[in-house]
Structure 1
Amino acid sequence: MENVRDTFKEVAAAILPVTIVVIVLQLVFIRVPFEAVIQFLVGVLFVSLGFFLFLIGVNAGLLPIGEMIGRRLPSTKKAGFIIATGFLLGLVVTVAEPDVRVLAKQIEEVSAGAVSAGILIFSVSLGLAIFVALAMIRTIFRIPLHYMLIGGYTLVFLLSFFVPESFISISFDSGGVTTGPMAVPFILALGIGVASVLRTEDDSSGEKFGLIGLASIGPILAVMVLGVLFR
């Protein structure tokens, strides 16, 4: 019950400020049609309900199972299996990420179908999956995070010289939308679970984090490569 109450407060704190600002703008400046305001309020109601149920599901299911999988994987003592599992989970949760689907749909409309939503979703998901796998490699072999971040963003910088300008902006937006409400809880819990088992209590705290920052490089590179192919 405590969890439900805290989740309700969290949703209210996230949704109410946006609702109040839009209503104030409507009353003072914008004056959009009344039907549009009613549609907005109905949308706020559905978003609030959906957000509330989603957070309940995350706390009750996604986070515990993600961390449990992460803790059980090292017991296999097979680095390849851990890396492959990270890749597969990164792929499927990104395909299910609603933010990625919204971006892909908008890009398909703007490009008049030249870049289909399906191709973009697959590219972004593949890019993130590869870098989740690299994050597992980093955790297993104790590779410093800054080495991989510098290497990843160096590739982004070099590749930007060969990519159409429109795809550069799309690629960075793709990196942002992958850190959405579906991918982050599950991937972060997975990384924390693996790091907790593979590290001692003294040195594991730093290894548990940085996974999302590293993984978000993958979609940027993937969309840039897609831009080179569409050039």
Structure 2
Amino acid sequence: MNWRGPFIRQRWSVMRWRYLLSGRRWGSPDWGWLLFMPGKGGRQYRRESSDMWKKILVALLLATTGTQASTLDELRRLEAHKVSPGKATQASLPPSPVTEADVEPARRDYRLPDGRVVNLKEYKLVLFMQSRCIYCQQFDPVLKRVTGLMGLDVFPYTLDGMGDTSFPEAIPATDAVIRDMWGDMRPVTPAAFLVEVNTLKTLPLLYGIVDEQTLRQRLDEALGFSLAAGTGTTHKTRR
């Protein structure tokens, strides 16, 4: 008797019911939890998910025309003042004397796995989170650690008006921002988008929680696709 089939079906059924009981609609964009499913089913899903994600990135990068004016105006304003969203109100304060140590370098180089070097000063990661979201509480520390090591700036938006331990200064996402970034989709958290600050083109990175390895892989893929499309500047250096 082949017991593996019934066992896998039973395990899948249990995980499906746990998902339904969690209050999320089955089939919603928050499918990131499936990446952690053990066994053959999990490996197959992760492999298919990786291939699908690459196709999605290519299609969106070719089709995207950038986000809408309300979101981009806010990103431009924050970028012009070089402040995080939570500190944007401080931009109106009288400027303090600028020292040489305060001047940021023009580049912040990051080497991709294929050897290309991308200037992370040209990109921002836009995060959507909620203070009461248990998945955000698990994922946000991972995102903050990875982007901190890379040198990639994060603009955190909160859907419930409050930040969390990792991003206490997250700013409330307005209806216009949600509409611009999500369209007709229902917002899920955590979710992240990569924005190229010169062209303001936007790529989705994730909907739902992912592990650190998957996060790094998607960041590398998105940055690579952006360079291949000519939206960012790059140069190769010797290893």
* TM-score, scaled relative to structure 1: 0.24
Q: Which structure has more helix as a fraction of its residues?
A: 1
Q: Which structure has more strand as a fraction of its residues?
A: 2
